Amino acid sequence: MIARNPPQRPAAYAEEALVTAILDGTYPPGAALPGERELAARLGVTRPTLREVLQRLHRDGWLMIRQGKSTVVTDTWRDGGLAVLGALVRHTPDLPDDFVPNLLEVRLAMAPAYTRAAVERAPEPVATILQDHVTLVDAPEAYAAYDWRLHRALTIASGNPVFTLILNGFAGFYEQMARLYFADAAARAASREFYAALLAAARAGDSSEAERITQAVMRESIELWRRTNEAA
């Protein structure tokens, strides 16, 4: 059931409430939403505000609006886009169990490519940020913040802004999950070795080695995450 407690920005509240209701199964894929009058009353917003929100959710892939028919919830995993991804990561408690492993698989597919490109295009700036790992405090929070900063810098240095846009979709959530990952001392040790090896590759301007190192470590991170969660 949708909670009726709109804040100062009714459209933002209504969008958040509807996304939550979709993710928690109140309105599962294929379900028809109530009519505008009823839904606006449930949410405590005006019908023009509701229409604005529904159009936005339709554009982002959450809903299918059909003239003269009920508005239907889509399968967001199949029909959603980057905006859906950003909303998903803001709703951590409602994410499926395999979301993080799937995210790590995506990182495995992307990170070697943008790391290679970054070392090819800008080895000195890459080496500069990697040098910072030497003074990194041995704590999950420090590693999480640094790892986010490093990977974002690598996407920017790669010269392909789409990599950065995709990574930015996980802002906040990335560090939240990384803190859990880096709570394992073995994960921090593996990353220290990764940063050092990648630093050497960047200093040598060896983009192929940077790609190889990154691919190996991304694979290892998936296994570490799975082992950590199986033990929990």
In the numeric block, the tokens 């570490």 are attached to 224
- Domain ends where: 58, 88, 118? 88
Three-class SS state of 90:
coil
Do 60 and 164 reside in the same domain of the chain? no
Instruction: Kindly write down the DSSP assignment for every residue of 47-68, as one continuous string.
Output: HHHHHHHHHHHHHHTSEE--TT
Q: Residue 10 in contact with residue 81, Cβ under 8 Å?
A: no
Q: Residue 117 in contact with residue 158, Cβ under 8 Å?
A: yes
Q: What pLDDT score was predicted for residue 1?
A: 52
Q: What pLDDT score was predicted for residue 93?
A: 62
Do 138 and 26 reside in the same domain of the chain? no
Q: What pLDDT score was predicted for residue 81?
A: 74
Residue-averaged pLDDT of the chain: 89
- Element spanning 188, H or E: helix 185-204
Give the residue with greater pLDDT, 196 vs 23. 196
Which CATH number belongs to the domain containing residue 168 in this structure?
A: 1.20.120.530
Q: Residue 207 in contact with residue 120, Cβ under 8 Å?
A: yes
Domain that holds residue 70: 10-88
Do 203 and 145 reside in the same domain of the chain? yes
Do 119 and 226 reside in the same domain of the chain? yes
The percentage of the chain sitting over the pLDDT mark of 90, rounded to a whole number, equals 64
Do 157 and 210 reside in the same domain of the chain? yes
Mean pLDDT of 81-90: 72
Q: What is the pTM of this model?
A: 0.74
Q: Residue 84 in contact with residue 60, Cβ under 8 Å?
A: yes
Task: Indicate if the pLDDT at residue 137 is higher than 60.
Answer: yes
**Banded model confidence at residue 143, pLDDT cuts 50, 70, 90:** very high
Do 42 and 153 reside in the same domain of the chain? no
Q: What pLDDT score was predicted for residue 3?
A: 53
In whole angstroms, give the CA distance from residue 184 to residue 11: 41
Lowest-confidence segment of 153-162, 169-178, 211-220 by average pLDDT = 169-178
**Banded model confidence at residue 230, pLDDT cuts 50, 70, 90:** confident
The percentage of the chain sitting over the pLDDT mark of 70, rounded to a whole number, equals 92
Radius of gyration of the CA atoms of the chain, in A: 21
Report residue 154 as tokens: 């690598």
Give whole-number Cα distances, 199 to 27, 65, 89, 134, 152, in Å. Answer: 48, 51, 30, 10, 16
pLDDT, tens digit, 9 for 90 and up, residues 125-134? 999 999 999 9
Q: Residue 219 CB: number of other CB atoms within 10 A?
A: 14
Do 152 and 64 reside in the same domain of the chain? no
- Element spanning 102, H or E: helix 99-121
In whole angstroms, give the CA distance from residue 219 to residue 102: 12
Do 117 and 225 reside in the same domain of the chain? yes
Do 19 and 111 reside in the same domain of the chain? no
Q: How many domains does the chain have?
A: 2
Task: Indicate if the pLDDT at residue 6 is higher than 60.
Answer: no
In whole angstroms, give the CA distance from residue 11 to residue 7: 9
